[in-house]
Structure 1
Amino acid sequence: MTNMKKLLEANAGHGQRRVSQVFRDFCELAALAIRNSVDPHGQTEREERYLSIARGYTSEEASRFAEALAHLALQLEEGFSDALGHLYMSLDLGNESIGQFFTPYDVGLVIAKMNVGNILGQLAEKEFVTVQEPAVGSGGMIIALADALREEGVNYQQSMHVTARDLDITAVHMTYIQLTLINVAAVVVHGNTLTMEELDTWPTPAHVIGGWAERLQLRHAETTPQTVPGHAQRGMGAEDYCTCDGPWPCPQAAETADAA
């Protein structure tokens, strides 16, 4: 993580740019590059957005971004963690006006281990579980859940699908990058959990390549699920588990569905 921090701070250019902007640009560039490799819809617009950001950096600075992403991939390969959430906090970005803070990974892992028994029970009866994360932040709780399942000998890559939401676009990018690097099948929604407004959806490569849209549609057709607005048209049925409060239905989403 120290190497990533130094690389991003170097791209701040000794005060020429704010570190917060460099961090946001790093996350957006990485997320755009990943998504364009698997999602043809809107590809041209995303490529234009990528180039508009990249033009603000020199070739040396762009190389630092690539090196930082390589460090991130290596760190997550060596052991699961909320690397980007930790980096965000170490850069003191959580102290800015947005007031956004991320739960320490160790705390998230304890919570995940406390709830993993419920998921194991679900998996005894079905091929996979669906997980809802209504305020995903940097994705730390989902990473911790994958970590806990892996410790139990469960192949989370085949046994879990995640629908994650956040209103902050940088949080969406952070989650998308990290879930991609640990190969979690997920759709990361840029949207408001309370109003169920969806601004964009970011399918991870594992979701696309693994044929999860079809798997979810088949699950939806085989059951009579309780759905929340916006899920049915994407083939997403009722969630089996919610990171905010254990088993689905999630209290936050259920209140919204009742009011709709």
Structure 2
Amino acid sequence: MKYTKPLLSLLAIVGIGTVHAKGSLENPKPGDYTSGISTIYGWNCDASLIEIQIDNGGRIKVPYGSQRADTESTCGDTDNGFVTQYNFGLLKNGEHRIRLYVDGVEQNDRTFHVSNLGAPYIRGLKGSVLVPAFPDDAHDTTLTWSESTQNFQISKVEPSGNYPSPDFNGIWRVENSVGDVLFQTTAGYIDGKPWLTVSMLDLDYNDLQIFSGQIEGKTATVDDEYSSFDTAFEMKLINSSKMEMTVLHCKPSTSCNIRAGEIYTLLRQDGREEK
């Protein structure tokens, strides 16, 4: 019987450790890559105080007690969640350390990686990017920049094949032109819409003009908003090696050497074979 008190003390210590062990820091996971304004969250069955520490900074108190129905089978109740918002743009690019403390006792210690754009909060950016064959081979996903989260968010999931044809991308030379003109075309997304940007370089006059416009199927209508001319073309893919460019208008007509209705043939110059 002389060992009863020490044994009870030991059981109490083990019991406390067991309770603290019934929980987890779920985000960020070990080795995760994160950026922008995101959440740090997890759960614990029974705690009075949840804190996190990033690198060697001070401990941050995390709100605790949100509903987590998935913890009921383990904890016997559901008010076990903890979550806080954090701007990872405050951290430098590279590896960082996060530690979770439950009632002052360290429970989790792990490293994660931060990739950001070099400032805690950036205003005025716009852009979208396509992730083909995601989440499966039958679908494509469009990600659009969100200023409020300083990150890309899913803006569209649609059946595969609705994104701009990769054949739009290339370098082209005008076949039936008296001048030496070279085109570079790039397909992408702007505000979730398929978009074509055309850079036209007149090698005779060392002049560069940029046109852009929305893509519909294998046709794009592009215009020039940055020069003294009001010029628009219809760019139509014939195959992966040939494109037709129809002049829609050029104003003022007295200053243009091209006319509405004229059709020019563009031939690929970057070595891709016809398909």
Q: What range describes the TM-score normalised by the shorter chain of this pair?
A: under 0.3
Pair member with larger Rg: 2
Q: Which has the higher strand share?
A: 2
TM-score, structure 1 as length reference: 0.25
TM-score normalised per structure 2: 0.24
Q: Which has the higher helix share?
A: 1
